């Protein structure tokens, strides 16, 4: 019997649109959070008028904070609180190397292009690109382009820490990584923690 699944074949749930679930009022899985990000991205009226660009410091705006919702999870699931942030990037601005503590997340490029650097390599992220990551995922996001960029970030649970890390953690070999994350990073988040953190990093 063939045990291959769509996810095993594709290697990335975000590359197989029919695996993405439509967002519920209170998402509880990575696929649902990715779907929520796509829904917000598609409705420019929710975010386009809010965007500002600041050449002297990183600009960000919290679009939504949703606390842990009791009774929102399916059987066996843990309800998860989350935050939605809007960030802009003028040419040359970057996040610095960091992780997101106990939060998982979805990064979606709304406008322009960004570069993501990880220990596995470098990826160019154009408008519409999504990245998902598990707790402890280490990366740096930079606008290497000549035009400004805008991105949407969903953190679940909401951020409580964002440790900055030395750039020496990145491998020097360079190269371009795969377009999607590996299945082991497509995980549900842990229980919510109190207190927001401003996501001046990515």
107-127 residue pLDDT tens? 999 999 999 999 999 999 999
Q: What is the reported pTM?
A: 0.74
In tens digits, what is the pLDDT along the chain, a chain of 202 residues? Answer: 444 444 444 444 455 555 555 556 678 888 999 999 999 999 999 999 999 999 999 999 999 998 876 555 555 555 578 999 999 999 999 999 999 999 999 999 999 999 999 999 999 999 999 999 999 999 999 999 999 999 999 999 998 889 999 988 886 434 444 433 332 233 323 323 334 566 765 6
Q: What is the pLDDT of residue 48?
A: 97
Q: What is the pLDDT of residue 160?
A: 86
DSSP calls for the chain? -----HHHHHS-GGG-GGGPPPPPSS--SHHHHHHHHHHHHH-GGGTGGG----SSS-EEEEEEEE---TT-SPTTPPP--EEEEEEEE-TT-B--SB--TT-EEEEEEEESEEEEEETTEEEEEETT-EEEE-TT--BEEE--SSS-EEEEEEEESPPS---B--GGGS-SS--B--SS--GGG--------SS-------
């Amino acid at each position: 019997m063939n045990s291959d699944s769509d996810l095993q074949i594709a290697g990335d749930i975000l590359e197989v649109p029919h695996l993405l679930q439509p967002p519920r009022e209170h998402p509880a899985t990575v696929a649902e959070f990715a779907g929520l990000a796509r829904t917000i991205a598609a409705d420019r009226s929710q975010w386009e008028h809010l965007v500002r660009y600041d050449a002297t410091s990183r600009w960000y705006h919290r679009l939504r904070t949703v606390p842990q919702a009791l009774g929102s999870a399916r059987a066996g699931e843990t309800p998860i609180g989350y935050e939605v942030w809007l960030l802009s990037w003028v040419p040359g601005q970057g996040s610095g190397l960091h992780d997101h503590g106990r939060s998982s997340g979805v990064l979606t490029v709304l406008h322009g292009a960004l570069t993501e650097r990880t220990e596995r390599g470098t990826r160019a992220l154009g408008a519409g690109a999504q990245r998902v990551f598990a707790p402890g995922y280490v990366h740096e996001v930079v606008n290497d382009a000549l035009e400004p960029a805008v991105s949407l970030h969903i953190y679940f649970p909401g951020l409580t820490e964002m440790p900055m890390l030395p750039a020496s953690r990145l491998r020097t070999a360079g190269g371009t990584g795969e377009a999607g994350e590996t299945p082991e990073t497509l995980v549900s988040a842990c229980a919510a923690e109190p207190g927001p953190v401003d996501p001046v990093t990515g």
